[in-house]
Amino acid sequence: MGQQLDKDRFSEAEFVRFGERLAEQVATLRETLARPGFGEGPLTIGAELELFLTTPDGRPLHRNREVREAAADGRLVSELGRFNLEVNLTPLPLAGRPFTAMAAELRETMDLVDKAAAAQGGRSVAIGILPSLSEFDFTHEALSDEARYRAMTRGMRRLRAEPFRVRISGAEELELEVEGVILESANTSWQVHLRTAPADFARVYNAAQLAVGPVLAVSGNSPGFLGRRLWEETRIALFEEAADDRDVERLDRRDRRVAFGSGWVGGAEELFEMCVREYEPVVPVLTDAPDTAGGAPELAELRLHQGMVWLWNRPVYDPADGGHLRVEMRALPAGPTPADMVANAAFMLGLTLAMADEPVHESPFAGAYRNFYRAAISGLDAPMSWPGRDGEVPAHRLVEDLLPVAADGLARAGVEAREAERALDVIRERAGRRRTGAVWQREKLAELGTDPAARARMVTRYQELALTGEPVHTWPL
């Protein structure tokens, strides 16, 4: 959805032609993935970080265009809400010391955004959901002033006539409705990409579906929304509800547009075909460019459509560098610090790569599904199952047991032992002390109160501690 558009309104004829292009390009993708040697190469990783912009007193700052222009860096792009920005990190090989390089670029780009925000009278913060958001931050005026976001809003409204309703039951209850998809802007993520050869895609993707449950449990950083205490990772529920384009007649016909999935997969083409078959287009941009890029087909329409079906683990086709596939791991929250995010990435990547060599598809998919949503709801207290283990254990114990597995997966990918150890030690300490970003936020709000002013004060304290660079399990109250 990072594509720039020159218009935001489309005719029904354009939607029809776009659908025809999707069918054609799915067939082309299948042929491309079957080419001998296509997409093979060393494992590489990349990442995207979504940030909030805030005023000095911790409230949302609706000036993302001005901040991006002041920063003047091509790695920064606007997001849906005027108080959001996204940082796209440079892809790099997984072998060697990738997490040191990733942390350095995170610090560099976050500092860049902070300085640009300061020139606009603000600051930035990496946090799953900004606690100081209020209902008044989700008006039509909060939408970023770009054609792609206006087009997305109109496209989603074309599919769903009723208001978008959000109902979340946690420690407290939240129920509200809005006319558009602006509530998506309340969620910010730390999205990790792993390049994988087509022949390995199914094994890696299925392993990521299994791995994400315990990783999410130890990474929670979004314990509420609009002053309500909800899930440990409320982003999961909020994004699924806020982008649900199904009307009342289609509720039982398919999953939401943001979903975990319903079974193990046999290949990347299966997921692309499912997204074309089950989900209607939202932004039907038709291209006239030749369908090649460095020897690989561009598949521009298919890539745009795939970018608007938000599976928590999503397949990505990229024509760059001769063409390749990636698994985009979308479920992890932003923040609190570069050290925390790099640790989350290391645990997710290591556990995925280790389990890709195991017969994951022979275990019940329901176990992975339950683990994911239990992690989102209850964090480190969630009961979890795991292939080869009897019964269920609390997530914090499972995380500790799986750290050597993740270390082995990283070692087999060529990550230096000390590099992996440093990153995974953050996870070990976080699980052992039972202190995630979500736990810190809940405890701080219990101290300060939950009124709007108290939530804003919590944000400023969070920003102060995040600037130290120390991981969240070391933060004092």
| CATH number, domain with residue 185 | 3.30.590.20
Residues of the chain with pLDDT below 70 are 1-6, 247-253, 289-294
Q: What is the pLDDT of residue 1?
A: 47
Question: How many structural domains is the chain composed of?
Answer: 1
Q: What is the pLDDT of residue 246?
A: 80
- Phi and psi at residue 229, in whole multiples of 5°? -85, 120
Flag whether 25 is in a domain. yes
Flag whether 2 is in a domain. no
Flag whether 7 is in a domain. no
Instruction: State whether the Cα torsion 65-68-74-80 is positive or negative.
Output: negative
Q: What domain range is 329 assigned to? A: 12-468
Q: Which two tokens stand for residue 151?
A: 């087009």
- Mention every residue, 6+ apart, whose C-beta is less than 8 A from residue 10: 151, 155, 283, 284
Closest CA to 379 of 221, 273, 266, 269: 221
DSSP for 62-111, written as a single string: --HHHHHHHHT-TTEEE-SBTTEEEEEPPPEESSBSHHHHHHHHHHHHHH
Flag whether 475 is in a domain. no
CB 469 within 8 A of CB 339: yes
Flag whether 338 is in a domain. yes
Q: H helices of 166-230, where?
A: 201-217
Name the amino acid, one letter, at 451: D
The DSSP call for residue 334 is P
Measure the CA–CA gap between 210 and 363, rounded to whole angstroms: 10
Flag whether 71 is in a domain. yes
The DSSP call for residue 321 is G
CB 15 within 8 A of CB 284: yes
Flag whether 345 is in a domain. yes
Q: What is the pLDDT of residue 162?
A: 80
